[in-house]
Structure 1
Amino acid sequence: MTERIVFEHREPRLEGTVTIRTSGRGLGRIFIYKSDRTSNPGHSVVARVVAGMDMVKLAGPGHLLTSRVKPARIMLMGSKLEAAIQHMKERGIDSLVEGTTGEDAVVVRQEPGTTMQILKEKKVKLTSIPASRLVAIELYYDQAPKSLDYFRHVTGLKERPVGPLPVYFVYENTVLFKPEIEATSYKELLPENKPLGPVPAGSIGVSNQVAKKIGYVGVKLKEDRRYGPSGEKFEATNIIGRVLEPEKLRDVKEGEMIYVLEVRK
């Protein structure tokens, strides 16, 4: 199984129409129509190409097309609070702030989450924290692709630059997180990139299908020669990345929400 997609809008698929496949073969794929087609209950119409259709018609397998979306996406997460408020003011949108409001405040949540809903309501609620509490991480895409598909899904990092991780348990040199989204029923977590030796401090791991509790995320604060970041033995742990500043996690408490920011090299 894969991620669920809800059908929303049906209309004739005229030339330039953009749709998302919401059921059947090709679920989740994006289609741009080069010629007219009738409507289909398995295709949700989401947009229309207003310029550049000649390029679409000339494109072949393997080609990459760059798109510019209108209206421009509203993504404030990861931005400084002051800059986010100013940006919304310029677009005629009111901002309601919950959290810290100091000079170093960073936005970690926005509600509504989608551009269209924000534009419709003309207001947005911003949750902010001190920049010193935002945890930067590096992810190992070439070593643990399946595990990262799961991790980026449950943290929301597939769609936004900042993701939440609720602290589930803290003990000795380990911080354990239980993701807000339960996805182990439709996301595979087969063993991959298991530790072959001592686990370095700062390592991030996900418990795989060998573990009793699948899908938990853990971070090691000190090097460990026996157990992985999620508290499991090496064969039940998939290493997915590292925390760049593990000292930020040394004083976290059970029940606390931390936010991670992916840093790409």
Structure 2
Amino acid sequence: MLIKVNGKEIDVAEGSTIQDVIDETNAPYTPGSIICLIKGKKELEKNITKYKIKTTKGSIIIELVEDEEAQPIVDVWKNQYEEFVDLSIRWSTSTEVAIGPIVTDLEPTHDEFKYYDGDVVLSLSSFSNESTHLILLKENTTNVYSVPPFNKGIFAHIIGGKKTLHELTDDDVITSIEPIIERSTTTDSASVSDLSTVLEQGNEIFTYIAFEIDDKSPICVEHLFSIIKDNRIKVNFDSNSFVGFYELEGIDKPKEDTTQRARGTITIRNAGSGVGRMYVYRENRVLIPDHTTVGKITAGMEIIDIAKKDDFITVKSEQQRLLLLGKSQEEASKILAEAGVEHVREGVTDDEALIVEQSPRHTIDIINEGKVVTKAINPNELCEIEFVDNAPRSVKYFKLISGLLENPVGKIKIHFAVPGMHITIFEGDKKLAKGLVPENNPVDVVNECEIGITNMASKTAGLIGVRFEPNREFGPTAESFNATNIIGKMVKNTDGLEDLKEGVVVYVRESMS
């Protein structure tokens, strides 16, 4: 049986499930993500109200009328519009443009009617259904178009491309007619996560979204890449006009490229409430300076249209992210060679050394410069942290301060260290620490290598600390237990850490073990 997978028609065995088809076609899909299932072309097109008529002079957009009286003609159009493709302009006058002929089952009338600029009519020329023409009105007129007995033959109105209409001559050709897919078109489609669902003839599935990046927004594009985890993104909000992804809300981003927010546009909020949020638009919206454009959906808008809060969506970028942090120098060299980018090693240059900094930091800048410098350290110098689950605000604060919210490797700078005190305190940010309410306060004892953050109960809120021996009186930042939030524990590569001096940068990453 024939079905479509991500827009491509394939022949599969009867009784095939979604999982079977994904395996057979190797379609991009991350387990746990939603899939859009459309029962068939007719199911999709029954909701379509707009069509783009492409000609050798440009495009004309028509919108179907909603009058019940016009429904028989609308049905004929939906069933036969493709027959007008490759036909020439039959005639062009000061009043109208005619395209055709095709054969229909319509019956003509002999009545004269008043028509208006922008009306779209099916006309049975010479009172014959074998000479059915598409008439596009340029101006008001009264005429006998031998139309069918429904709504004066009017089934649509021109809503775009009137300049093109006036330029058409009988030398021009209809090159294609495309249904315009809008959110309302796919709202009847099913969101499916059960991969054992059996498919039927004519079904269409979409397993992922793809996007192209806006190379005028290098910093915010990197923010977009950071929101994608394990090749998928989680929906935090959905409305009629957009889908919101708030994973990295609160991270300041600059104003870069700003454009009209057309359907499929991806933006990052760069100012005001919700800074750092990402939006994908289901409907057109005007340009506003608080939204930086970072890309555009190129495939899978059907999934965006049906996605709901807490859904996961599989994502595929047309541009590979050149994030090298946490990789070995050898791994980075291979990645950059494939991308045609020169690799300059600094710090520890051995193949197995782990990269902790890169310059340029952003993918677009790396591509533009054609070169990247990576600084690496020995693997045993990269501290690993195991975070707790019951201090979400404090953990997010630490990840924001260190850079771990957006990158696999972060860094923290030593603020205070005295040999022999078995404690190291790192710099924080008082402004960002304003929301650090008490959570996961220590009880009885702070254990060796536990990491704590001073909460709002103290004037030094935001400081980060670690103790290298147990303490029953004070937390890792030398504060009382009630002013201390425990966020986790350093579980690897802590040797020599308490001997480091003020101003030294310590590189960290989250433990995956």
The counterpart of 1:195, out of the listed 439, 442, 466, is 442
Superposed, 1:140-155 pairs within 5 Å as 140=388, 142-155=389-402
Deviations 1:122-143 (A, max 9, x none): 1111111111111111111x21
Instruction: Identify the residue that residue 50 of structure 1 maps to in structure 2.
Output: 298
CA 1:214–1:26: 2 relative to 1, 3 Å: closer
The counterpart of 1:83, out of the listed 327, 331, 334, is 331
CA 1:84–1:226: 2 relative to 1, 3 Å: same
* Larger proportion of helix: 2
CA 1:226–1:101: 2 relative to 1, 3 Å: same
Do structure 1's residue 99 and structure 2's residue 314 form an aligned pair?
Answer: no
CA 1:27–1:99: 2 relative to 1, 3 Å: closer
Q: Share of identical aligned residues, percent? A: 34
Amino acid of the structure 1 residue aligned with 2:462: G
Q: Hey, what's the Cα distance between the residues in 2 that align with 1:106 and 1:150?
A: 25
The counterpart of 2:425, out of the listed 176, 179, 189, is 176
Instruction: Identify the residue that residue 166 of structure 1 maps to in structure 2.
Output: 413
TM value normalised by structure 1: 0.91
Q: Hey, what's the Cα distance between the residues in 2 that align with 1:247 and 1:104?
A: 20
TM value normalised by structure 2: 0.48
Instruction: Identify the residue that residue 431 of structure 2 maps to in structure 1.
Output: 185
The counterpart of 1:217, out of the listed 461, 464, 483, is 464
Q: Hey, what's the Cα distance between the residues in 1 that align with 2:384 and 2:295?
A: 34
* Larger proportion of strand: 2
Shift of residue 233 of structure 1?
1.5
The counterpart of 2:284, out of the listed 36, 43, 46, is 36
| RMSD, aligned α-carbons | 1.9
Deviations 1:217-262 (A, max 9, x none): 1111111111111121212211000000333524323332210111
Contact 1:176 1:218 in 2 (8 A): yes
Query: Which structure is higher in RCO with an 8 Å CA cutoff and minimum separation 6?
Result: 1
**SS of residue paired to 1:28:** coil
**SS of residue paired to 1:6:** coil
Instruction: Identify the residue that residue 266 of structure 2 maps to in structure 1.
Output: 18
Shift of residue 96 of structure 1?
2.1
Q: Hey, what's the Cα distance between the residues in 2 that align with 1:28 and 1:167?
A: 28
CA 1:92–1:116: 2 relative to 1, 3 Å: same
Q: Hey, what's the Cα distance between the residues in 2 that align with 1:26 and 1:204?
A: 29
Do structure 1's residue 114 and structure 2's residue 362 form an aligned pair?
Answer: yes
Q: Hey, what's the Cα distance between the residues in 2 that align with 1:186 and 1:260?
A: 20
Runs (4+) off by over 6 Å: none
CA 1:103–1:29: 2 relative to 1, 3 Å: closer
Instruction: Identify the residue that residue 480 of structure 2 maps to in structure 1.
Output: 233
Contact 2:250 2:274 in 1 (8 A): no
Contact 1:135 1:248 in 2 (8 A): no
Contact 1:2 1:186 in 2 (8 A): no
Q: Hey, what's the Cα distance between the residues in 1 that align with 2:345 and 2:311?
A: 43
Of structures 1 and 2, the larger Rg is shown by 2
**SS of residue paired to 1:239:** strand
Gaps of 5+ in 2: 1-248
Contact 1:20 1:30 in 2 (8 A): yes
Gaps of 5+ in 1: none
The counterpart of 2:314, out of the listed 60, 63, 66, is 66
Contact 2:251 2:400 in 1 (8 A): no
**SS of residue paired to 1:68:** strand
Deviations 1:33-77 (A, max 9, x none): 223333222322110001001111122233221221221111111
Shift of residue 103 of structure 1?
4.2
- Aligned residue pair count: 261
Deviations 1:164-187 (A, max 9, x none): 1112222311111114xx3x2144
**SS of residue paired to 2:313:** coil
Q: Hey, what's the Cα distance between the residues in 2 that align with 1:25 and 1:178?
A: 26
Amino acid of the structure 2 residue aligned with 1:233: S
Contact 1:94 1:122 in 2 (8 A): yes
**SS of residue paired to 2:317:** coil
**SS of residue paired to 1:82:** helix
CA 1:136–1:10: 2 relative to 1, 3 Å: same
Amino acid of the structure 2 residue aligned with 1:47: G
Contact 1:17 1:49 in 2 (8 A): yes
Q: Hey, what's the Cα distance between the residues in 2 that align with 1:25 and 1:169?
A: 34
**SS of residue paired to 2:326:** coil
